[in-house]
Amino acid sequence: MSSTEETSVVIVGAGAAGLTLATFLQTAGVACVVLERRDRAFIEVRQRAGVVDARGVRMFERWGLADQLLAGPVAQTIDYRINGVGRVFEITGDDGSEGRFCTQQMLVNNLLRELIDTREGDVRFGVTDVMIGNEDGPRPHVRYVQDGQANTVACDHIVGCDADRGVSRASIPPGILTTISHEFGYAWLAVLVETPVVGHPIMGASDHGFVAQLPRGPQRSRYYLQCALSDEPGDWSNERIWNEIRLRLHNDTITNAAVLDKEVVPLRSVVHSPMQYRNLYLAGDAAHLVPPTGAKGMNMALYDVDVLATALVSAVRDAETSALESYSDTVLPHTWRYQEFSAWMTDTMHDSGDPALHGDFRQMAARARLDELFDSPAAARLHSDYQRGVA
């Protein structure tokens, strides 16, 4: 048996982007349904990004949701180290707004609570066989299967928040999208460990390769270790991980702690455009990927859904569709600016470390770029603006 329902917006994917968009739409009284392949327990424990930048914090304040959704300490410093010698960069701004070390997991859990438990939002977990109906003629619709039952939701707009390998972007016919990408040629071993970060978050260049030490809530931290694209998590024993952290941070006092998760992440940048096709709009990782070096992946997704939520509310409530029609043109300049920032951070932090990577010239040039952040107020200001997400 199959059933057909009606709503205004169907959102595919209940990650940070999809849930934020749904919560904004729900707040504005726009009906929406969220479809998610996984179950709620899975997305509640999924660990990803760690920072909501100052722009993101202001966005949640503007939608009246900051108190309900955000948690974690203020993110206002980064310790940039070269071979263990650190300088603490202060992230400052005139308007007093600050980013937060609010983990993506914390944000997603708060969104689930706010959207489903408080606002009775409609999120359907464990759905399979999602098919996007976005062709000529019939009303836009999404078909899916849940608990063995085929369902169809007819709607006015479909939003793909289902990341890089989701069905939404894949439903767009060949020849419509242009894809521009860049491979950095190396990977990170991303390690989640059961010990808190003490002191400032660290981005460390070293002769032995890049290392980062970043907070993930009161009990956990994330380490990133530059590694070869061909490395497998199994190549990295816990002993090797901790030895390499001590070596690259030049700190023998760090003691081993439990490793909860490790994965190899190739560093790459990708933009698919336009970010819309007919009645389908792409947001977040479905439209673009950045290397994690600048902490912008989740923040770019939040920017997309901020613009899209405003445009969808105008379209649904006021029949004013111009913002929706120009969604892709509005967000792409921002996407590219933060692609550039993420590539700048990635090149600067890796080139300034191991000279075997790109040679002595690029090592010294990258170190000069880092020095400039501390020596030039203009460079510091611009870097702060990028870190805060307001550049």
Residues 78-117 that bind ligand PHB (CB under 6 A): 78
Count residues contacting ligand PHB (CB under 6 A)?
A: 12
Task: Provide the minimum distance between the beta carbon of 203 and ligand PHB in the complex, in angstroms, as a whole number.
Answer: 6
Residues 222-261 that bind ligand PHB (CB under 6 A): 222
Task: Provide the minimum distance between the beta carbon of 201 and ligand PHB in the complex, in angstroms, as a whole number.
Answer: 6
Distance (Å, whole) CA 54 – CA 56: 5
Is the CB of 78 or the CB of 309 nearer to ligand PHB?
A: 78
Half-sphere exposure of 135 (CA within 13 A, CB side): 4
Q: Return the H-helix or E-strand segment holding 349.
A: helix 327-351
Distance (Å, whole) CA 127 – CA 13: 10
Kindly indicate which of the ranges 8-16, 152-160, 175-183, 286-294 contains the residues binding ligand PHB, using the contact rule CB under 6 A. Answer: 286-294
Q: Closest residue to ligand PHB, Cβ-based?
A: 50
Task: Provide the minimum distance between the beta carbon of 345 and ligand PHB in the complex, in angstroms, as a whole number.
Answer: 7
Q: How far is CA 112 from CA 19, 34, 36, 109, in A?
A: 7, 11, 12, 5
- 199 forms beta bridges with none
Residue 302 lies near ligand PHB (rule: CB under 6 A):
no
Kindly indicate which of the ranges 9-17, 27-35, 293-301, 304-312 contains the residues binding ligand PHB, using the contact rule CB under 6 A. Answer: 293-301
Is the CB of 99 or the CB of 133 nearer to ligand PHB?
A: 99
Q: What's the length of the chain?
A: 391
Is the CB of 30 or the CB of 203 nearer to ligand PHB?
A: 203
Distance (Å, whole) CA 3 – CA 243: 57
Residue 294 lies near ligand PHB (rule: CB under 6 A):
yes
Q: What is the DSSP string of 18-45?
A: HHHHHHHHHHTT--EEEE-SS-HHHHHH
Kindly indicate which of the ranges 114-122, 272-280, 292-300, 318-326 contains the residues binding ligand PHB, using the contact rule CB under 6 A. Answer: 292-300
Residue carrying structure tokens 């992946």: 297
Candidate residues 13, 15, 201, 204; the one interacting with ligand PHB per rule CB under 6 A: 201
* 228 within 8 A of 187, measured Cβ to Cβ: yes
Task: Provide the minimum distance between the beta carbon of 209 and ligand PHB in the complex, in angstroms, as a whole number.
Answer: 16
Residue 295 lies near ligand PHB (rule: CB under 6 A):
yes
Q: Which positions ≥6 away from 177 have C-beta within 8 Å?
A: 169, 272, 273, 274, 277
Task: Provide the minimum distance between the beta carbon of 212 and ligand PHB in the complex, in angstroms, as a whole number.
Answer: 6
Nearest CA-CA partner of 391 in 296, 305, 301: 296
Is the CB of 13 or the CB of 294 nearer to ligand PHB?
A: 294
Residues that bind ligand PHB (CB under 6 A): 49-51, 78, 201, 203, 214, 222, 292-295
